[in-house]
Amino acid sequence: MIELTDEKLKLSLAGVAVGFVYGVALRLMYQVFPHALENSWVMTFSFIVLMPFAMGVVTVYVAELKERQRILTWIFLPWFPVIAALLAMMLLLLEGLICVVLFAPLALVLATLGGVLGGVSGRFIRSHRAKTASLACVLVLPFLVMPWENQVLNTRDLRTVENTIDIQAPAAVIWRNIERVPAIRTDELPSSWSHRIGFPNPVEATLSHEGVGGVRNATFTGGVLFLETIDVWEPEHRLSFTIRAQTDQIPATTLDEHVHVGGPYFDVLRGEYRLEPLPNGTVRLHLLSRHRLSTDFNWYSHLWTDAIMSDLQKRILHVIKNRCER
């Protein structure tokens, strides 16, 4: 059994330090050279996927230089530079909590995969030249992929999220509570993980006039405003509308720039309420939304956007149900 000696501890700390410096340096590149990098460096496959992988490789590779480390070290040691780098970015106000939470699970998994590769490379590749070449290839890989990835990997997905709730109230009462939503008190809203990481609370929805063409002003905390133009008006049955975020009115501090509603990566496009009478006399209220997702890694980011939209819709349905049943 391999024991943890002072030498092993020093090498592990050295690996963490090197991995941390590498990760932070890549994140700061966009701040220092914003015009030298296309789009936002931190919203690329190179940064989101290849950077934490490379951090894991270099962290464990350095730790394996002179002393054999335990396999558990390969797995968990890369987490330390990743977590430290994320905390540093928050302290420097370069990333908000919502971005850190969304990025962290993927980054930790990729760092572990990189750590295993770094451990295998450091332990089993005998040639010093081959080791150095392998490490160099991994470290420069983000810079090699970034210039062309947007043309190959970027996709535009339209995602639909639907939630339902059963309400013990007449359809007429439910309709009155969805065409307009009077100001929501904080104590009416259920607890929410998405709000805890930074997504704003719904406040109210006003209506300019009834019928097709009417405009709902849906406001959220933090100055977030959506203009919802009604295109389907079927009283006590269906209410559907297009959504346009007033991006110029949303303060920069409300949402992280990388999850900005109406921005290049994410936007909410449509919403719909539908009332479905049930045989037992209750009404099933459907709330559906459609949003756009445009990143180089939609295969991961859609898990979060779908979950956030679903959490928001459940909270709104909860408020409507309680109001109608009172």
pLDDT tens per residue, range 229-280: 999 999 999 999 999 988 776 666 656 666 677 778 889 999 999 999 999 9
pLDDT of 120 above 80: yes
pLDDT bucket at 155, cuts 50 / 70 / 90 = confident
Q: Which of 9-23, 74-88, 244-258 has the highest mean pLDDT?
A: 74-88
Q: What is the mean pLDDT of residues 119-140?
A: 82
pLDDT of 22 above 80: yes
Residues 6+ apart with CB under 8 A from 252: none
Q: What is the mean pLDDT of residues 153-173?
A: 94
Residue 116 in contact with residue 74, Cβ under 8 Å? yes
pLDDT bucket at 143, cuts 50 / 70 / 90 = confident
pLDDT tens per residue, range 97-116: 888 999 999 999 999 999 99
What does the chain come to in residues? 326
Percentage of residues in the chain having pLDDT higher than 90? 56
Q: Which of 65-69, 144-148, 158-162 has the highest mean pLDDT?
A: 158-162
Please tell me the predicted confidence (pLDDT) of residue 34: 59
What distance, in Å, lies between the first and last C-alpha atoms of the chain?
A: 66
Please tell me the predicted confidence (pLDDT) of residue 1: 39
pLDDT of 322 above 70: yes
Tokens 């209220």 sit on residue:
285
Percentage of residues in the chain having pLDDT higher than 70? 90
Please tell me the predicted confidence (pLDDT) of residue 290: 97
Domain 155-325 = CATH 2.102.10.10: no
Task: Give the separation between CA 270 and CA 245, rounded to whole angstroms.
Answer: 11
Question: Which residues make beta-bridge pairs with 229?
Answer: 215, 242
pLDDT of 132 above 70: yes
pLDDT of 119 above 80: yes
Please tell me the predicted confidence (pLDDT) of residue 2: 42
Max Cα–Cα distance, the chain, nearest Å = 78
Please tell me the predicted confidence (pLDDT) of residue 189: 94
Q: Which residue has the higher pLDDT, 233 or 281?
A: 233
Please tell me the predicted confidence (pLDDT) of residue 253: 60
Task: Give the separation between CA 170 and CA 168, rounded to whole angstroms.
Answer: 7
Tell me the average pLDDT of the chain: 88
Residue 252 in contact with residue 225, Cβ under 8 Å? no
Tokens 């040639």 sit on residue:
127
Residue 306 in contact with residue 161, Cβ under 8 Å? yes
Domain limits of the chain? 6-148, 155-325
Number of Cα atoms under 13 Å in the Cβ half of residue 160: 5
Residue 10, phi then psi, degrees to nearest 5? -65, -45
pLDDT bucket at 212, cuts 50 / 70 / 90 = very high
Please tell me the predicted confidence (pLDDT) of residue 99: 87
Helices 298-325, 97-124: crossing angle, 10 deg rounding:
150
| Integer Rg of the chain from CA | 25
Task: Give the separation between CA 201 and CA 110, rounded to whole angstroms.
Answer: 32
Please tell me the predicted confidence (pLDDT) of residue 36: 52
Q: Which residue has the higher pLDDT, 215 or 65?
A: 215
Q: Which of 55-64, 130-139, 202-211 has the least mean pLDDT?
A: 130-139
